[in-house]
Amino acid sequence: MSRFNGIDQSVHNSKAKTGVLLTNLGTPSEPTAGALRTYLREFLSDPRVVEIPRFIWMIILHGIILRIRPAKSAKLYQSIWTDQGSPLLAISEQQTEKVRKKITSKYGDTVIVDLAMRYGEPSIAKALKNFQQQGVNNIIVLPLYPQYAGPTTGSTFDAITDELKTWRWIPSLHFLSSYHDDAMYIKALVNSISEHFAEFGQPKKLVFSYHGMPKLFHSQGDPYYCFCVKTTRLVIEQLGLADEDYVMTFQSRFGKAEWLKPYTDATLASLPEQGVKDVAIISPAFSADCLETLEELESENREIFIEAGGESYRYIPALNSRDDHIEAISGLVQRVID
């Protein structure tokens, strides 16, 4: 039996079709220890995510982490779970539907827009197979991570190629690896922050909290840190803020290794003693609200700041399905199609 699969696409004079695949990290299917164990097994087995020799890491993962962490993580997910299920999946579906309407209104049925998650469902492999069944011969992949990072965007590319290398006919592929400095994305962030300031007032300090990364990854060439710095600079320039008005930090570290600094939780704990008791916090690295924003930033870090003497702590939501965010995502795709 051949190792390469495909379908008969020898229909002459058929319209060329483009498949647009929006991707995000993923989510457990339900907030239970069992579902978290399945999700974390896939996530933490990715060598892009954990760069420890496989033999050693598999012993740690299966012998310790998957025995302890699923139950703890399930409780955190239960605190943010909604009637629609996982916030990340629900918001990603809303984004996809809005982008689909905008794209198909311009290009008709020659462009198919779909959603996939790097881990869990809906899977990248299934989405690509769906494109194959519909005769797609040009694929555009947009991972919804504004700032490229190996454990997120790089891992998505791995999953795309793992599937495509089994196909007999490889379609054209355009992989959008970063949009950290895209003008429309920056404008959406600026709009979001400006609207928040207009409603609640400008805080003493605006905190830009990006997802963390082991410092080793940066020293070995991952551009993520530099992209975060540029996103922050572009937003600050448009907002007209001074250096003392903001701080850039990194959250969600895991394990004992040194990660990118300064750390979000440590920074928030130290600000009140410096006279900063009024903050607003935003996480531009997340295109959709999820566990790391709804639980970690909005709840856990709020508690850290208030217990340290802070008085006002406001979380500015991710861009989610805001119209200007959808315009930015659609614009990235349209520029490739055109």
Q: Judge contact between 251 and 209, C-beta under 8 A.
A: yes
Residue 120 backbone class (left: φ over 0; alpha: ψ -120 to 50; beta: rest): left
Q: Judge contact between 282 and 193, C-beta under 8 A.
A: yes
Query: Is residue 162 in some structural domain?
Result: no
Helix (H), strand (E) at residue 138:
strand 138-143
CA dist., res. 306 & res. 240, Å (int): 28
Query: Is residue 3 in some structural domain?
Result: no
Query: Is residue 259 in some structural domain?
Result: yes
Helix (H), strand (E) at residue 230:
helix 224-239
Domain that holds residue 249: 183-315
Tens of pLDDT along the chain (338 residues)?
Answer: 457 676 665 554 467 899 999 999 999 999 999 999 999 999 999 999 999 999 999 999 999 999 999 999 999 999 999 999 999 999 999 999 999 999 999 999 999 999 999 999 999 999 999 999 999 999 999 999 999 999 999 999 999 999 999 999 999 999 999 999 999 999 999 999 999 999 999 999 999 999 999 999 999 999 999 999 999 999 999 999 999 999 999 999 988 899 999 999 999 999 999 999 999 999 999 999 999 999 999 999 999 999 999 999 999 999 999 999 999 999 999 999 99
**Closest by Cα among 255, 338, 217 to 64:** 255
pLDDT at 7: 67
Q: Judge contact between 22 and 99, C-beta under 8 A.
A: yes
- What residues are paired with 71 via a beta bridge? none
Output the domain CATH number for residue 193.
3.40.50.1400
CA angle 190, 191, 194 (to 5 degrees): 80
Calculated CA dihedral for residues 288, 292, 295, 299, nearest 10 degrees: -110
**The tokens of 330 are what?**
């659609």
Query: Is residue 291 in some structural domain?
Result: yes
Query: pTM for the complete prediction?
Result: 0.94
CA dist., res. 200 & res. 203, Å (int): 8
CA dist., res. 9 & res. 239, Å (int): 51
Residue 170 is given by DSSP the state P
Query: Is residue 278 in some structural domain?
Result: yes
- What residues are paired with 26 via a beta bridge? 119
Q: Judge contact between 23 and 117, C-beta under 8 A.
A: yes
pLDDT at 8: 60
pLDDT, tens digit, 9 for 90 and up, residues 286-300: 999 999 999 999 999
pLDDT at 12: 47
Q: Judge contact between 16 and 137, C-beta under 8 A.
A: yes
CA angle 313, 318, 322 (to 5 degrees): 125
Kindly provide the residue ranges of all beta strands, DSSP E only, lying in the chain, ordered along the sequence: 18-26, 111-119, 138-143, 172-175, 205-211, 246-251, 278-282, 312-315
What is the SS3 assignment for 202?
Answer: coil
Query: Is residue 246 in some structural domain?
Result: yes
CA dist., res. 149 & res. 132, Å (int): 28
Number of alpha carbons in the 13 Å side-chain half-sphere of residue 9: 18
Query: Is residue 90 in some structural domain?
Result: no
**The tokens of 166 are what?**
């089994």
Query: Is residue 243 in some structural domain?
Result: yes
> What domain count does the chain have?
1
